[in-house]
Each structure stands twice: as C-alpha cells, then as structure tokens.
Amino acid sequence: MAQAAPAAVIILAAGAGTRMVSRTPKVLHRIGGRSLLGHAIHAAQGLDPQRIAVVVRHERDAVAQHAIEINPDILIADQDNVPGTGRAVQCGLSTLDAAVKARAVALSGAPLDAEGIVSTTQVCGPVVVIAGDVPLLDAATLGELVAAHKADGNAVTILTTEVADPTGYGRIVRDPATGSVAAIVEEKDATDGQRLIREINSSVYVFDAELLRDALTLVTPHNAQGEFYLTDVVAIAHGRGLPVRAVQSDDPVIVEGVNDREQLAVLGAELNRRILADWMRRGVTVVDPATTWVDVDVELAQDVTLLPGVQLHGASTVGVGATIGPDTTLTDVEIGPDATVIRTHGSLAVIGAGATVGPFAYLRPGTELGERGKIGTFVEVKNGKIGEGTKVPHLSYVGDATIGKHTNIGAGTIFVNYDGVNKHHSTVGDGARTGANNIFIAPVSVGDGAYTAGGTVVRYPVPAGALAVSAGRQRNIDGWVERRRPGTEAADIARQARESEAPQESSTLGRQAREEQARAGSASHPVTPADGTPFGYRIPDAPPTPAFGTPQAQSPNHNSPNKESGDAQ
C-alpha cells in the first residue's frame, strides 16, 4: 500500500443532498458508526496520501468541522457558486496547490511570490478523487486502483462496475479499437444506444495532477445540466492520445452511493451484514444476524457470543468468551473475558473479566466493574468504581462512588451524590455489607468490613468493622385504620379480624365497656428508657429490631419520635 501512495486525495462533499429531506447534510448521516464522510476519510487515510482535501459548500461549517474532528490535518476547500463536479475538483486542487506552495515557502524562507517558488510548487503525481457518499468503498480497493494507475502509466484510471440496471449512472464508452475508455457520458446526455451500456462510472478516479489541472481549464458547461463535469476530463485525455483505462470491480455495492434515506438504510444493512460475516469467520458466534448490529470500529475476540438484539457501537471491545445479550446496547464499552452482559444499556464503561451485568442495568459514563463483580437487575451506575468480587444485585443507584473489593450492597440502595449544586463522592471499603434500603448521603465513607442495618440513612463516616444504624424502633398504633379510615374496605376487614380475635369473656361486657377495653389495650405509653435505648416510646412485649443478627445498636441520645401526624394520642 505504501508503494501505491498517491500525492493527494480529493473528497467531494459539497452537495446539498436534497433527496435526503433532512436538516443534516447528506455526508453527515451515519451508518456503521461513522458518517458517510467519515467512511470516505477513513478509506482515503488508508492510502497514506501526502494530503487530503475535502471540498465543501452546503452547510459548509458543519461539514468542515466534522472533517477536521476526524483528521485535523485535512485541508478544507470551498467550492464557489459555479456548479458541477469539475469545478469542485478544481477548487480542491487549487487548495492542495496552495498548501504545497505554503509548505515550500515555509521550508525555504522565501516570500510567497518569490521567483521560482510559485511556478514549481504544485501537487505532482497521482491525485485520487472520490465522492463523500460512498460508504462501502475501502482503502484496499483504492490501493489497487492507484497501483494499476502507476503500473500502466495512465493519465486517468477509473473504477467501474457492471450493474443490471444502469439507470441514473454515467456510462463508460470504450474505444472499439483499443478497449481503452474514450468518454464517460452522463445519463441525461446519453444516446439511446449509450443507455444500453451496463458498465458504469463509480465516480472514483485517479488522475495525473498535471493533466487534471490543465484539462479542468478546458471543461465547459455545455450539457443537459449546465454544469462543469469532471467526466469531461476523460474525453480530453483520450483526445490527446493519453492512456485512459478502467479497473472494473466485480462488487457493485462497494461503489454504490447514497442519495436518499432508503439507500442509506440498504447500504447500512449491507455494511452490517459484511461486518458480521467477517467476525463469524474469525470465531465469533452471532446467533441472529438479522437483529445484531456491530459498528466498524468494534473489536471482538474469539469465542464471543452475541445473542439476538445486540447493538455494539463506537469503539466497544469484547474479550474472549464473553456473552452479550440478548437485547443489549453498548457504546464505547470495554468488556473483559468471560463476562456476561444481559439486557443492558451502557456507554463509556469498563466491565471486568468474569463479571455479570443485568438484566435491565444502566451503565452510564465512568462505570467500572471489577473482575467477577456483579451489577444486577434494575441497577444504575454513573461514575462508580465497583471492586473485584463486589455485588450490587438489584434496585440500586450508585452515583459518584467507589466501592471496594468483595463488598455486598443491599437491595434498594441509593448513593445520594447531588446537593442541588455540586456532585459529591462516597466510598465503601472492602468486605463491607450494607443493608437493604440504605441511603448514603455524600460525601460519606464506610470503612472496611463495616455493616449498615436495613433502612439506614448514612450521613456520617462509619468506622471499619462498625455497625451503622439510624432507624428508630418500630411503633404499632393499634386500631388506627378503624379510627382514621372509617368506611373503607381495609377498616371493615380490620374490624372483622379484631372481633374474631377478641377474648370470649369480653362478650358479656356492654358495647361501651368493650370499646374502652380496646382503647386501653391499644394505647402506646411514653416511657423513660432505663437501658439507654434511643427510643422514646416502648411497646409492651415488642421484640427488638434485629440488624444482621446483632443486638439493636445503642446511642446516648434520647430523642422521642414525633407522634403519628394528626393522631389524637
């Protein structure tokens, strides 16, 4: 490929693409993880040319910015109001010549208009011209075209192909005596006999720079569309007796362009089919290719399995033996060997070897899951680092947190990281066990081997090996439903249950006496605790609240809980 490197590549990206019916320029529409222009630039870069120029006009700033984001060294050539591909290439070549000239001046230190500098500093050698809307064209095909151009000493070399229906394409007219290309005739300018020709122009060329520069000055707009056709250069070269030859591709799809959204979808599907076929030949299992989409820059290792409904985008990488899917969409995610990711949406995340994710997990940017770790069902992680062997099994949010190794996070845990203005970070150490329905108010830390009880709100640091408990003892207010929700189904059922459980001897009492007895038995009495427990109300015979099998935590503070809102007690 390096031996066939051209002097320059000109990419035509100035068209409006009106048939796309879109606010987005045609060349910025995407398939396979790249814009159409991105595919063209990638193919051009594969030739290792000295310079690449992108010709722009419609939505000039957006297209130019996108091209420079892909490759900052790309030259932007502005096409003026003169229509046609010939004028577009002329603008591109002028920009390339100016860059060569500026480089020569910079190296020599001579002024821009110094004698000898202007006349001798222009692009020399092969110049490749491609369209910015042919996404399946690859560097290998272009390399073969450049190699043939150099080997045959051609003035012009054209990539052609044969199609069953050539409608809409320029036809390749060959010299019957030599078989060389005599002209390219556009559809609207073709005769009835020329329209029968099935060999078509792909709009991919290699020109000798000197010929191209000179011939473009001779092109006129005397045609059905009133444009300056680049294809007229072919006839000019042939008329001068210069060698003009074609390299015919046996794969028409690689030179097919995009003009509307239907063609965009068709070529997108074909590109994806080829990507999947290539990975399957290299040892990847794709269970259902019809529902599996993999971008061009994704990397898959041997024995990866992609289940139905998988979409892998961006620069995602999947390690040996990993299983992805079903129904998983990952963008720029790194997945380690033997990991499993099920029904998950993720981006800019790292999943360690042997780890499991999902189902129904959401991995936001900054997620890192260690080896053999677990992010389970309905778990969302953002900017969270979860250590080796650590599990966040279900129904939790881990935001701006670092969790150590071999820790277990209970169900329903929330790391509260946002105070309305700033984000704050929390830390949980190695070997910790947090209870269900915990809330960690950042910034806060939990030490190695610490426990937190179910329902705990952690606002302050928890030392290593400590148990954090913030909940008060449960208080039952008997008869509340009948008194505060009378007439409801629940009240009726509660009354029936109470009456069925009432002692038999109470049946001899009158109605008022029974009500007084029930009221007296259901009342909660405030007491002064003698054992230092932090609860202002004690329910007779109420069992202590367990926390991971340990006695109820004690506290020197004696704060009475508020009574039930609106309750008369």
243 shares a domain with 385: no
Structurally, the chain folds into a number of domains equal to 2
**Is 352 inside any structural domain?**
yes
What is the CATH number for 293?
A: 2.160.10.10
What is the CATH number for 71?
A: 3.90.550.10
Domain limits for position 341: 284-468
378 shares a domain with 250: no
Contact (Cβ atoms closer than 8 angstroms) between residue 479 and residue 462 = no
Annotated binding-site positions: 12-15, 26, 79, 84-85, 133, 170, 186, 201, 259, 364, 382, 397, 408, 411, 417-418, 454
pLDDT of residue 541: 44
Task: Name the residue type at position 30.
Answer: R
218 shares a domain with 332: no
Contact (Cβ atoms closer than 8 angstroms) between residue 396 and residue 422 = no
pLDDT of residue 12: 98
**Is 548 inside any structural domain?**
no
pLDDT of residue 103: 86
**Is 516 inside any structural domain?**
no
> Mapped to the 3 state alphabet, what secondary structure does 105-125 carry?
HHHHCCCCCCCCHHHHCCCCC
**Is 228 inside any structural domain?**
yes
The token pair that represents 43 in the structure block: 């193919």
Phi-psi region of 68 (alpha: psi -120 to 50; beta: other; left: phi over 0): alpha
The token pair that represents 278 in the structure block: 């290539």
pLDDT of residue 542: 40
Contact (Cβ atoms closer than 8 angstroms) between residue 550 and residue 465 = no
Task: Name the residue type at position 370.
Answer: G
312 shares a domain with 446: yes
Contact (Cβ atoms closer than 8 angstroms) between residue 392 and residue 379 = yes
373: which residues sit within 8 A by CB, 6+ positions away? 352, 355, 356, 386, 387, 388, 389, 390, 391
Residue where a domain stops, chosen among 440, 468, 496: 468
Give the C-alpha separation, 316 to 535, whole Å: 54
pLDDT of residue 528: 39
Give the C-alpha separation, 457 to 168, whole Å: 70
Residue 296: other Cβ atoms inside 10 A: 16
Pairing of strands 181-185, 171-174: antiparallel
Within 13 Å and on the Cβ side, how many CA atoms surround 331?
Answer: 7
320 shares a domain with 234: no
- The CA-atom distances, in angstroms, between 340 and each of 21, 241, 350, 543 are 41, 64, 13, 43
Q: Which of 412, 388, 446 is nearest to 398 (CA)?
A: 412
- The CA-atom distances, in angstroms, between 6 and each of 127, 128, 181, 189, 489 are 6, 7, 22, 32, 85
Contact (Cβ atoms closer than 8 angstroms) between residue 291 and residue 308 = yes
**Is 18 inside any structural domain?**
yes
pLDDT of residue 292: 98
293 shares a domain with 398: yes
Annotated binding-site positions for acetyl-CoA: 411, 417-418, 454
pTM to 2 decimal places: 0.83
pLDDT of residue 505: 52
Express each pLDDT in 330-376 by its tens digit: 999 999 999 999 999 999 999 999 999 999 999 999 999 999 999 99
Residue where a domain stops, chosen among 468, 491, 526: 468
The token pair that represents 454 in the structure block: 């179910």
306 shares a domain with 188: no
**Is 187 inside any structural domain?**
yes
**Is 165 inside any structural domain?**
yes
Give the C-alpha separation, 347 to 364, whole Å: 6
Show the low-confidence residues of the chain (pLDDT under 70). 1-3, 109-120, 503-569
- The CA-atom distances, in angstroms, between 130 and each of 27, 48, 445 are 13, 15, 59
pLDDT of residue 565: 34
Q: Is the peptide bond before 544 cis (omega within 30 degrees of 0)?
A: no
**Is 564 inside any structural domain?**
no
Q: Is the peptide bond before 359 cis (omega within 30 degrees of 0)?
A: yes
Give the C-alpha separation, 168 to 476, whole Å: 82
225 shares a domain with 290: no
Annotated binding-site positions for Mg(2+): 133, 259
- Which stretches of 440-485 are DSSP H helices? 480-484
297 shares a domain with 195: no
Active site residues: 394
429 shares a domain with 301: yes
Annotated binding-site positions for UDP-N-acetyl-alpha-D-glucosamine: 12-15, 26, 79, 84-85, 170, 186, 201, 259, 364, 382, 397, 408
Residue where a domain stops, chosen among 417, 444, 468: 468
192 shares a domain with 89: yes
